[in-house]
Copies of this chain bind each other. A is one copy, B any other.
Amino acid sequence: MTVAPRRPPLAVSDLDEAADAVRAAGGRLTTARRAVLEALLAAGRPVSAEQIADGLAGRAPLVSVYRNLDWLEELGLVRHIHVGHGAGLYRLAAEAEFEYLVCERCGAMSAVDARALDRARAEIFKAAGYEARFDHFPVHGLCAGCAGLSAAP
C-alpha cells in the first residue's frame, strides 16, 4: 500500500491482458501473482488483502498477497481505497471509472461513474482551490436510507 506517485491506470479485463502487462514490465507471472490477479478479476469490487488470501486456498500467504498488490499497484494495474477504520481495499485499475461512496452508519458502499462526481469536484475547486480526488479516499457520509432515518425523529 505504498503512498508513492500513482502510476497512470493500466486497465485490463482478463488474465491474459494482465499477464501481458506484467511481462511487459519485466515481471514474472508467478503462481502467487496469477492467483492475486484472478482473485481481483473475480471479485469485481474492492476487497481486502486478507479476503484475497483467504480465497486463495493456500496458493499464496497474506504476505505475498501484500507484496503482489504493492507491485501491481506500482505497475498501475491495481488501486487501493480506504473505507472507514478497516483494512485497505484493493481493486483492479480497470474499474477506475467508478468511484465509491461509503455510508458511515450502515457500512454500505456504492459505486458511481466517476463523471457523476465531476460537478462536486468543480464546486470543491471553486470553494477551496483543490482538485479533489475520490479514488483513494472515497466520499464518506450517509446513504439515502440512513440520511432519511436521522432526519426523521
Q: In the bound complex, how far is the Cα of B59 from the Cα of A80, in angstroms?
A: 39
- CB < 8 Å: which of B112, B133, B147 contacts A131? B147
- The size of the chain A interface, using a CB distance under 8 A, is 36
The answer to whether B128 touches A112 (Cβ under 8 A) is: yes
Of A10-18, A27-35, A46-54, A134-142, the one contacting chain B is A134-142
The answer to whether A85 touches B3 (Cβ under 8 A) is: yes
The answer to whether B119 touches A127 (Cβ under 8 A) is: yes
| Interface SS majority for chain A | mixed
The answer to whether A112 touches B127 (Cβ under 8 A) is: yes
- Chain B's closest residue to A100 (CB) is B128
Note all chain B residues with C-beta closer than 8 A to A1.
85
Instruction: Verify if A116 is at the interface (C-beta below 8 Å from B).
Output: yes
The answer to whether A104 touches B136 (Cβ under 8 A) is: yes
The answer to whether B129 touches A140 (Cβ under 8 A) is: no
The answer to whether A104 touches B120 (Cβ under 8 A) is: no
* Chain A positions 94-149 with a Cβ under 8 Å from a chain B Cβ: 101, 103-104, 110, 112, 116-117, 119-124, 126-133, 136-144, 147
Closest-CB distance, A41 to chain B (whole angstroms): 26
Instruction: Verify if A84 is at the interface (C-beta below 8 Å from B).
Output: yes
Q: List the 4 closest A-B pairs by CB distance, nearest first.
A: A120-B123, A132-B141, A129-B144, A116-B127
